[in-house]
Amino acid sequence: MLTFVIRRVFQSALVLLIVGLVAFSMFRFVGDPIDNMLGQERTDADIARLRTDLGLDQPFPVQYVKFLKGAAEGNFGVSYRQGRPVSTILVERAPATLELAAVSGFFAITIGIGLGVFTAIRRDGFMANMIMSVSLIGVSLPTFLIGILLIYLFAVELGWLPSFGRGDVVNIGWWSTGFLTASGLKALILPSITLGLYQMTLIMRLVRSEMLEVLRQDYIRFARARGLKERSVNFRHALKNTLVPVITVTGLQLGSIIAFAIITETVFQWPGVGLLFINAIQFVDIPVMAAYLMLISVMFVGINLIVDLLYFAIDPRLRVDQKGAK
C-alpha cells in the first residue's frame, strides 16, 4: 500500500513539474510585459532596467527554477499588473470561482439527474423527446454564446437579473460570499446556468442511458411483479444502481467546471480566478499566469490521485497484483 501511494505521489509531482516547465517555455510567446508596464515616453534604458529588475533577461529555465524556489516557500511573486503578491490576489478571487462552481455543479447534478430519470421513464413521451432534442443545444452551443443570449434575455429585455458582476458580497473572515445577499444570489443565477449547462446535459444523458439499462434488469421486473409502487421501483431500486457511474463522472467533472469557468467569468465579468487569468494573459502578467496554471494542475493531479487511491481502497485486485508482483 505504502509503495503504491509513494509511487503515485512521485508521479504526480513529476507531472506538476513538467506542466510548469511547459508553461514557462510558453510564456515568451504570450508577449512582452514590458510595454504594458512602461508608458509611451519610455527610453531603451528604461526597458533594459525593468527587464533586469523582473529577471526577464534570464533564460526561461532559470526563471522557472526561481519560480519553483519561491513556490516551495508559498511565495508566487508579485503581480506585474497589480503590484501585489499573487497569493493574496488568488485568495481574494478564489471564493467567487468556488461559489460559482459549487452552484453550477449543484444545478447540473440535481436538474441533470431529475431530467435523466424523467426521460428514461417516459422514454417515448413527447416531453421526453423534446428535452432530449433541446439538450443537444446545451452540448453544441459554445458557452459564451449561451451566456450572451441569457444576458440579453434576462438582463436587457426582461430586466430581471443583473448583466454582470457578483452583486453585493459579505465578508466572513477572508472568504467573500454572495450567498447572503439578494443581489448576490440573483447575480449567481445566469453564470451558474451558463457554466453548468454542459455538465447538466452530460449528466442527464448519462443517467438516462444507465437508467434504461437498469430498467431492463430482471430485479426491476421482479419488483414490478411483486406489485411495488412505480415510484418506489424507479427511485429506490433503479436510480440507486444508476448513480455509481454518475458519481465517478461528476467527480471528475468538478475539476473541469472550475477550469472552464474562464469563459463564463469573462462573459459575466465574474470576479473569479478565471477572469484574473484572462486579464493576466492580456497583460502578460507572468507570475499570475504561472501561479494559476500550477494551481489548476495541482487540482487536477490531486483529484486523479484521490481517485486512484480510492480505487486502490475499493478494488482488492489491485492489492493482490501488488503482492503478486513482489
Q: Is 59 near another protein (CB under 8 A)?
A: no
205: its cell numbers: 444523458
Cβ count within 10 A of residue 251: 13
Q: Is 50 near another protein (CB under 8 A)?
A: yes
- List, in order, residues 6 or more apart from 250 with CB less than 8 Å away: 105, 108, 109, 199, 203
Q: Is 51 near another protein (CB under 8 A)?
A: no
Determine the interface stretch with another protein among 10-18, 44-52, 111-119, 128-136 (rule: CB under 8 A). 44-52
Query: CA gyration radius for the chain?
Result: 24
225: its cell numbers: 411483479
173 φ, ψ (degrees, to nearest 5): 65, -130
Per-residue string for binding with another protein, 223-262, x by CB under 8 A?
Answer: ----------------------------------------
Q: Is 33 near another protein (CB under 8 A)?
A: yes
Q: Is 177 near another protein (CB under 8 A)?
A: no
Q: Is 74 near another protein (CB under 8 A)?
A: no
Kindly list the distances between the CA atom of residue 223 and the CA atoms of 94, 118, 209, 237, in Å, as whole numbers in the listed order: 48, 19, 20, 9
CB 107 within 8 A of CB 96: no
Binds another protein by CB under 8 A, chosen from 109, 115, 258, 267: 267
Strand locations in 134-291, DSSP E? 170-172, 175-177
In the complex, the smallest distance separating the C-beta of residue 252 from another protein, rounded to whole angstroms, is 29
Q: Which is nearer to another protein, 125 or 142 (CB)?
A: 142
Binding positions for another protein, rule: CB under 8 A: 29-46, 49-50, 53-54, 78, 80-84, 89, 92, 148, 151-152, 155-156, 159, 162-165, 266-269, 271, 275-276, 278-279, 282-284
